Amino acid sequence: MLNNSNRNALPIAGTLCLAALITSLAPAGAQTLAPPYDNAYSVADLGTPAGVPISFGGIAFKIGDPDAVYLGGAANGASGAVYRIPVTRDASKRINGFAGPGVLFAAAPNIDGGLQFGPGGVLFFTRYSTHHLGMIKPQSAVMDKSVSLAISSFAGSVGSLSFVPAGYPQAGKLKLASYNSGMIATATLAPDSTGTFDIASLVVGPTIGGGPEGIFYVQPGSPLIPDFTTMAVCEYGNGAVVLYDIDANGDPKVATRRLFLSGLSGCEGAAIDPISGDFLFSTFGGGGRVVAIRGFGVPCGATQFYGQGLAGSGNKVPEIDHEGCFARRQDIAITTDGTPSVPGAMIVGLSSVSAPVFGGTLLVNPLFLVTHLTNSLGRYSMALTIPDDTNLLNTDFFFQSVYLDQGAVQGFSFTRGLKLQVR
């Protein structure tokens, strides 16, 4: 078990070994991708950003601010804080360096490997070795709340966190990893009255090894990794990134562990670049580095249903849903399921409304309509290809279908609304 003090210690074996000291302070330049991933992915060492105190904690991106990374500094100690660091991008929109030094964003005492913006724009971070979850509200420069995770037999001290993305089991819930015990847990958050959150429930899952720190779900469209099946784990103890298949609860299947990357000294935080899809890892040791792994697909955008539909024939409310990952470079489909062989229109827009009409509610401010006919099973599917255009990043699209259905109260049935965000 590694505690806070010896996590900062220099290598000692009887007397101080100069060679080991040099190794611990040298750039982390020996990362090796394991086969077969070495043929599809690449590694770029982005170096040590200025202005952020060693050792590094978690790393994150903020929605609406893709040209900066947020990085924990002075990790595991009372002076821990989050810094905003501007980045530069190459012609392919990949991060290739830092445009300036880090600027203090907010105090985050005892920050560890978990750092992610979550619901309500709150910045969540794991705290070592207090076994707490810290929260920083938007526009705040201090830790606004800290809640204990010593519940439901979740042991050790939490190392990392990840909000489960769209398309995966338990989407929207918070996954936690204990650095000391290796336990994985799933937390359900509940808003409090101050803009932060309480832990409504926490369920402990499997136990993994390696001293887990940064954890993330691998986004679809990533070579050699089947879509919506895999969790990546940053193993501090092994200096490695490993992959696990996930089960129906979104937890790693212990027996499926496989090496993805080795030689990442002090592997700590992990984040997905919303523009390129690259994984960025921070290191607690190894001189304090930020490392990018290139080749992954871009993450899926969030899905949200809203409003109420209106029943048609057989008192059935037509359903609307989507298939695939709502992200750039992806093919998806918007689907409906209602009354067989009736005409209708798919309404597509960039904003929502709430307008009573024909006994139901129009929920989309129309940009355009796609007229169609449901098949003999009452189903319809509208295929879409989302272009690789970064101007679409974080754009919300709204969908609703309305059907001419004689079984409806005023001759029209409605689906509820569907909101999708491009990533």
Helix (H, G, I), strand (E, B) or coil at 237: coil
Task: Return the pLDDT at 100.
Answer: 97
Task: Return the pLDDT at 264.
Answer: 87
Paired with 272 in beta bridges are 279
Helix (H, G, I), strand (E, B) or coil at 62: strand
Please tell me the distance from the alpha carbon of residue 383 to that of residue 108, in angstroms, as a whole number: 45
C-alpha distances in angstroms, 321 versus 325, 337, 345? 12, 9, 15
Task: Return the pLDDT at 14.
Answer: 31
Secondary structure letter of residue 168 according to DSSP: S
Report the chain's C-alpha Rg in angstroms. Answer: 24
How do beta strands 230-235 and 212-217 pair?
A: antiparallel
Task: Return the pLDDT at 102.
Answer: 98
Phi, psi of 398 (to 5 degrees): -120, 140
- Could you tell me the two tokens for 365? 């401010």
Secondary structure letter of residue 119 according to DSSP: G
How do beta strands 412-414 and 396-404 pair?
A: antiparallel
Task: Return the pLDDT at 166.
Answer: 79
Phi, psi of 22 (to 5 degrees): -60, -40
In the chain, what are the helix, strand and coil shares in percent, each to the nearest 5?
5, 50, 45
Query: Around Cβ 136, how many Cβ atoms within 10 Å?
Result: 24
Phi, psi of 291 (to 5 degrees): -120, 135
Task: Return the pLDDT at 93.
Answer: 86
Largest CA distance in the chain: 87
CB 57 within 8 A of CB 284: yes
| pTM, two decimal places | 0.78
C-alpha distances in angstroms, 21 versus 11, 287, 292? 7, 11, 25
- Could you tell me the two tokens for 320? 């609307």
- Could you tell me the two tokens for 401? 């279908």
What phi-psi label fits residue 299: left (phi over 0), alpha (psi between -120 and 50 degrees) or beta? beta
Task: Write out the DSSP string of 297-311.
Answer: PPPPPPEEEES--B-
For residue 405, what are the contacts with CB-CB under 8 A and spacing of at least 6?
312, 313, 338, 339, 342, 411, 412, 413
CB 117 within 8 A of CB 62: yes
- Residue ranges in the chain whose pLDDT is less than 70: 1-29
Q: Which of 371, 369, 314, 305 is nearest to 339 (CA)?
A: 314
Task: Return the pLDDT at 393.
Answer: 79
Task: Return the pLDDT at 159.
Answer: 96
Task: Return the pLDDT at 302.
Answer: 78
C-alpha dihedral sign at 185, 186, 192, 194: positive
Task: Return the pLDDT at 4.
Answer: 37
